[in-house]
Chains A and B, each alone.
Chain A
């Protein structure tokens, strides 16, 4: 019996050690990814064909102004020096100045990022608040081929909804609620009611997809042996479904939620464009069009860093909830 105990101790230690190693591995990958991101955003301005400053300021700009801006951006120095300067500035929070407006890129992005998050986070919450209960309820109601019609209606509706891209949702919402009914403003960020359409537009597609995934996961879990065990213990339906089944079903959902938050931040690019929202997405697009490269650099960097960090955090969170998820990851 003592031998068994020792084995059990060792296995518990192994699990803990595995988790630490997993976190370290993920942290290393995150750092490498961030380094690639930083380097790529540094190289971006170098890779632009022709003179980026000339491209930004236009052919009619005086030569002295172009030269001054090139000087300011340090574009005439050796590449390695520029890279080191870029890294040093980055660590002090200095992302440079806009070629066009001379405003600090870090400050501009800071303001815009807040506006973007004020859309993405509520949309994220709305998505989950709808999708998880809906998916669970539908799984419980339609398991083992019960209520076939409800199931078909739901699957059909969610496929249709998920097929509609955000910008089409935006346009449709604007056409109906702003143009036709005049209930809420069509664009701008002004007061609570201006949030309604953009948040809805961001949440509809992901909510439909997520509800479907929660349902499928939940159906699989409800057929699991341990749920039968729970039923054999005569627990309440609520406890069987929520305490025994749901946590096993959300692992996949959580993986997805990371991607979903990332796509939501991505979705804001389009949604902000439709609603003239003063966010990061709108800034990226307009700065690409106006070739304001320092601003593009900064925006891509911040946006990429957020997405990478979110993905890593989600992976680590899943590993903590469900130790089995680390298996097969090397």
Chain B
């Protein structure tokens, strides 16, 4: 196998940055040797000349060649930058590690000291030190080094403190290893990477700081010259030869760019999120399949989905997490979808709620909600209908409410938009809805922020949010997974109560068979983006025929489960939607697999209680289903 390239060299920008740095290093070493004499040679007969074939960037007020001066100045600029960076980073390391090594009280004093120093702008510190140390190159170097130390110290301390709490460091400490040795051998190697990245970025600001000081005349002093000094000289003659100031300016920009690009590439910060998804179909809108199949449209149905497909573009062709799912819900009916993570159940819920976003594509033979075809019209065409008649409850109530908005405006806004309520009306309705979900003191709650609520209260608030309109359907995606057991029951009871009172249909997504079977009338079992079994919840435990359903049931611990034995799990891994096998998707994990299963994909057919997609639906059930399923 080929050796992996370093992370930095994997992005084009990183390659450009490293290349520039190499060129700069070569210039710093070679330029003074090759062009040193020509950079300082004065030509009184050729002062302040513009660009010419002999002097590409013209000459200065002593007739010296600007281009060569700029190239030669590379060494001093880079050497000073490196020296100040090394000094400052070293100082920062000491200050940052000190609190971790010193006695507790002394350590806190150092942290407080660093915090205070951080408040002071670094330029102020540099100027202050320049006054005390006098105007010279050395004092500028010390001053800049001291100024960059506090932020670096804070980084070292923050990262170091994190590592110092880990087990292996504690183990070393108990073993009596010297604290300094712990720091050098155990802590520093673990935080080296972010420190190096940060030092690179620091170096680029040091370069500019030094240049700035020289430019102000309080850094490098004549006859020495760095780029900042050259710029100051150039500014004085900018009307005669602008290149005298611009050439060293370009040098600054290129060097700063090289350091920044390298630092960024090393940190891998930009584009990391979206790098994976590059595809041609980004601009495609969701496609609308022909609207032909209306012959057996059932008007009693709140939701009628047929042959739902969801596709996301992937690097090797589209990936379909949901493949041909059909669901129909009547008013007041509760249907549950169960399956493992990655089975496509949450995606199905998002598609029903019209929340699948580009570049995802949703297609269906039929996608009707409250007798309205959701596939027709623009994206926003059904906002009013969906906003008032469809409620969505998400899994994690801790993150599903906006942390910076009061509960009142989060509840009221949809009603104001879709039902035209005034602020006051919306607020009154919101208070009423909070009461409906049994939250006490609703008027005060409306003025509170989500972080003032517990998890269960937030989930109630989410449900109340859905009740602001008159929902015909509630799509609840793992509404109780993030809650503890007693609160789970309360939230499920609340959903039941709403369903009974208002005849609202419920589509409940869960990985937990017992949750679904306790409140739903019908259960759909999903595997690898398909529905593999569809049966009444009452028959789930006794009549389920699909080996996957049986395995799911077997994985639920019961009161009689032997707690000393390992809990039952389903052997093997769920199917990766990028590589769906031919034949039955469950074949690889199925205890009853035959050759036919591997070659031919089963379709849904009538079973004893519902429909099942399994070639073995007619076979007698094996005596010990659980045993086979344990993995």
Kindly state whether residue A192 has any CB partner on chain B within 8 Å.
no
Kindly state whether residue A231 has any CB partner on chain B within 8 Å.
yes
Kindly state whether residue A148 has any CB partner on chain B within 8 Å.
yes
Contacts of B234 in A (CB 8 A): 171
Which secondary structure dominates chain A's binding surface? helix
The smallest C-beta distance from A83 to any residue of chain B, in angstroms, reads: 17
Kindly state whether residue A90 has any CB partner on chain B within 8 Å.
no
Contacts of A151 in B (CB 8 A): 271, 274
Contacts of B454 in A (CB 8 A): 4, 7
Kindly state whether residue B394 has any CB partner on chain A within 8 Å.
yes
Within the complex, which residue of B13, B134, B253, B440 is in contact with A168, where a contact is CB–CB below 8 Å?
A: B253
Known: A8-B453, A164-B256, A285-B217. A307 touches B135 (CB 8 A): no
Known: A4-B440, A15-B452, A236-B417. A33 touches B116 (CB 8 A): yes
CB contact list, A139-157 vs B, under 8 A:
142, 144-148, 151-152, 155-156
Contacts of A29 in B (CB 8 A): 115-116, 119
Known: A145-B359, A146-B282, A228-B394. A235 touches B211 (CB 8 A): no
Kindly state whether residue B405 has any CB partner on chain A within 8 Å.
yes
Kindly state whether residue A100 has any CB partner on chain B within 8 Å.
no
Kindly state whether residue A274 has any CB partner on chain B within 8 Å.
yes
Tell me the nearest residue of chain A to B409, going by C-beta. A243
Contact across chains for B115 and A5 when beta carbons are under 8 A apart:
no
Kindly state whether residue B624 has any CB partner on chain A within 8 Å.
no
Contacts of B418 in A (CB 8 A): 234
Tell me the nearest residue of chain A to B396, going by C-beta. A225
The smallest C-beta distance from A75 to any residue of chain B, in angstroms, reads: 16
Contact across chains for B134 and A49 when beta carbons are under 8 A apart:
yes
Contacts of A263 in B (CB 8 A): 121
Contact across chains for B121 and A233 when beta carbons are under 8 A apart:
no
Contact across chains for B401 and A226 when beta carbons are under 8 A apart:
yes
Kindly state whether residue A134 has any CB partner on chain B within 8 Å.
no
Kindly state whether residue A125 has any CB partner on chain B within 8 Å.
no
Measured in the bound complex, the distance between the Cα atoms of B417 and A230 in whole Å is: 12
Q: Which of B163-171, B237-245, B502-510 contacts A (4 or more CB under 8 A)?
A: B237-245
The smallest C-beta distance from B225 to any residue of chain A, in angstroms, reads: 16
Q: How many A-B residue pairs have CB under 8 A?
A: 231
Q: Mark A227-268, 1 if CB is under 8 A from B, else 0.
A: 011111111100100011001100000000000001101100
Tell me the nearest residue of chain A to B379, going by C-beta. A237
Known: A145-B274, A233-B387, A303-B124. A270 touches B401 (CB 8 A): no
Q: Mark A301-312, 1 if CB is under 8 A from B, else 0.
A: 001100110011
Q: Which of B187-195, B350-358, B363-371 contacts A (4 or more CB under 8 A)?
A: B350-358
Within the complex, which residue of B211, B217, B414 is in contact with A234, where a contact is CB–CB below 8 Å?
A: B414
Measured in the bound complex, the distance between the Cα atoms of B234 and A180 in whole Å is: 16
Tell me the nearest residue of chain A to B252, going by C-beta. A168
Contacts of B357 in A (CB 8 A): 144
Kindly state whether residue A61 has any CB partner on chain B within 8 Å.
no
Within the complex, which residue of A145, A289, A311, A322 is in contact with B277, where a contact is CB–CB below 8 Å?
A: A145
Contact across chains for A160 and B257 when beta carbons are under 8 A apart:
yes
Contacts of B264 in A (CB 8 A): 159
Kindly state whether residue B436 has any CB partner on chain A within 8 Å.
no
Known: A274-B235, A284-B127. A321 touches B245 (CB 8 A): no
Contacts of B405 in A (CB 8 A): 243-244, 247
Contact across chains for A273 and B132 when beta carbons are under 8 A apart:
no
Tell me the nearest residue of chain A to B240, going by C-beta. A179
The smallest C-beta distance from B388 to any residue of chain A, in angstroms, reads: 9
Counting contact residues on chain A (CB < 8 A from B), the size range is 35 or more
The smallest C-beta distance from B368 to any residue of chain A, in angstroms, reads: 18
The smallest C-beta distance from A288 to any residue of chain B, in angstroms, reads: 6
Kindly state whether residue B267 has any CB partner on chain A within 8 Å.
no
The smallest C-beta distance from A260 to any residue of chain B, in angstroms, reads: 11
Contact across chains for A288 and B131 when beta carbons are under 8 A apart:
yes
Tell me the nearest residue of chain B to A155, going by C-beta. B270
Contacts of B483 in A (CB 8 A): none
Within the complex, which residue of A152, A172, A226, A293 is in contact with B400, where a contact is CB–CB below 8 Å?
A: A226
The smallest C-beta distance from A28 to any residue of chain B, in angstroms, reads: 11
Tell me the nearest residue of chain B to A178, going by C-beta. B238
CB contact list, B442-480 vs A, under 8 A:
445, 448-449, 451-454, 457, 462, 465
Contact across chains for B441 and A5 when beta carbons are under 8 A apart:
yes
Kindly state whether residue B309 has any CB partner on chain A within 8 Å.
no
Contact across chains for A167 and B231 when beta carbons are under 8 A apart:
yes
Contact across chains for B403 and A322 when beta carbons are under 8 A apart:
yes
Kindly state whether residue A132 has any CB partner on chain B within 8 Å.
no
Contact across chains for B130 and A288 when beta carbons are under 8 A apart:
yes
Measured in the bound complex, the distance between the Cα atoms of B125 and A303 in whole Å is: 11
Tell me the nearest residue of chain B to A147, going by C-beta. B282
Contacts of B358 in A (CB 8 A): 144, 146
Known: A232-B355, A289-B218. A266 touches B121 (CB 8 A): yes
Which secondary structure dominates chain B's binding surface? helix
Tell me the nearest residue of chain A to B414, going by C-beta. A233
Measured in the bound complex, the distance between the Cα atoms of B404 and A162 in whole Å is: 31
Kindly state whether residue B384 has any CB partner on chain A within 8 Å.
yes
The smallest C-beta distance from A4 to any residue of chain B, in angstroms, reads: 7
Contacts of B465 in A (CB 8 A): 229, 233
Contact across chains for A156 and B217 when beta carbons are under 8 A apart:
no
Contacts of A11 in B (CB 8 A): 452
Kindly state whether residue A137 has any CB partner on chain B within 8 Å.
no
Contact across chains for A308 and B128 when beta carbons are under 8 A apart:
no
Kindly state whether residue A99 has any CB partner on chain B within 8 Å.
no
CB contact list, B117-161 vs A, under 8 A:
119-124, 127-128, 130-132, 134-135
Within the complex, which residue of A172, A179, A265 is in contact with B239, where a contact is CB–CB below 8 Å?
A: A179
Contacts of B278 in A (CB 8 A): 145, 148
Contact across chains for A163 and B246 when beta carbons are under 8 A apart:
no
Q: Mark B401-413, 1 if CB is under 8 A from A, else 0.
A: 1111100000001
Kindly state whether residue B44 has any CB partner on chain A within 8 Å.
no
Measured in the bound complex, the distance between the Cα atoms of B252 and A7 in whole Å is: 59
Kindly state whether residue B516 has any CB partner on chain A within 8 Å.
no
Kindly state whether residue B383 has any CB partner on chain A within 8 Å.
yes
Measured in the bound complex, the distance between the Cα atoms of B127 and A187 in whole Å is: 24
Kindly state whether residue B212 has any CB partner on chain A within 8 Å.
yes
Kindly state whether residue A68 has any CB partner on chain B within 8 Å.
no
Measured in the bound complex, the distance between the Cα atoms of B128 and A296 in whole Å is: 9
Measured in the bound complex, the distance between the Cα atoms of B231 and A274 in whole Å is: 10
Contact across chains for A33 and B120 when beta carbons are under 8 A apart:
yes
- Complex A-B, nearest 7 residue pairs according to Cβ-Cβ distance, in ascending order: A234-B387, A145-B274, A145-B277, A163-B256, A234-B383, A233-B414, A168-B249
Q: Which residues of A contact B (CB under 8 A)?
A: 1-2, 4-5, 7-8, 11-12, 15, 29-30, 32-33, 36-37, 40-41, 44, 47-49, 142, 144-148, 151-152, 155-156, 159-160, 162-168, 171-172, 174-175, 179-180, 186, 216, 219, 224-226, 228-236, 239, 243-244, 247-248, 262-263, 265-266, 269-270, 273-274, 284-285, 288-289, 293, 296, 300, 303-304, 307-308, 311-312, 321-324
Q: Which residues of B contact A (CB under 8 A)?
A: 13, 115-116, 119-124, 127-128, 130-132, 134-135, 204, 208, 211-212, 215-218, 228, 231, 234-235, 238-239, 242, 245-246, 249, 252-253, 256-257, 260-261, 264, 269-271, 273-274, 276-278, 282, 353, 355, 357-359, 380, 383-384, 386-387, 392, 394, 396, 399-405, 413-414, 417-418, 438, 440-441, 445, 448-449, 451-454, 457, 462, 465
Instruction: List 29 interface pairs A-B (beta carbons < 8 Å), by A numbering.
Output: A1-B438, A4-B440, A15-B451, A41-B128, A48-B131, A144-B359, A145-B277, A151-B271, A152-B271, A159-B264, A163-B256, A164-B253, A168-B231, A175-B246, A179-B242, A229-B401, A229-B402, A233-B414, A235-B417, A244-B405, A247-B405, A266-B123, A270-B216, A273-B215, A293-B131, A303-B121, A304-B121, A308-B120, A322-B404
A146-B282, A225-B399, A303-B124 known; 19 new pairs, CB 8 Å cut-off, are: A5-B440, A8-B453, A29-B116, A33-B116, A155-B271, A159-B261, A163-B260, A164-B256, A167-B215, A216-B270, A229-B401, A233-B417, A234-B383, A239-B417, A244-B402, A262-B121, A273-B215, A288-B218, A323-B451
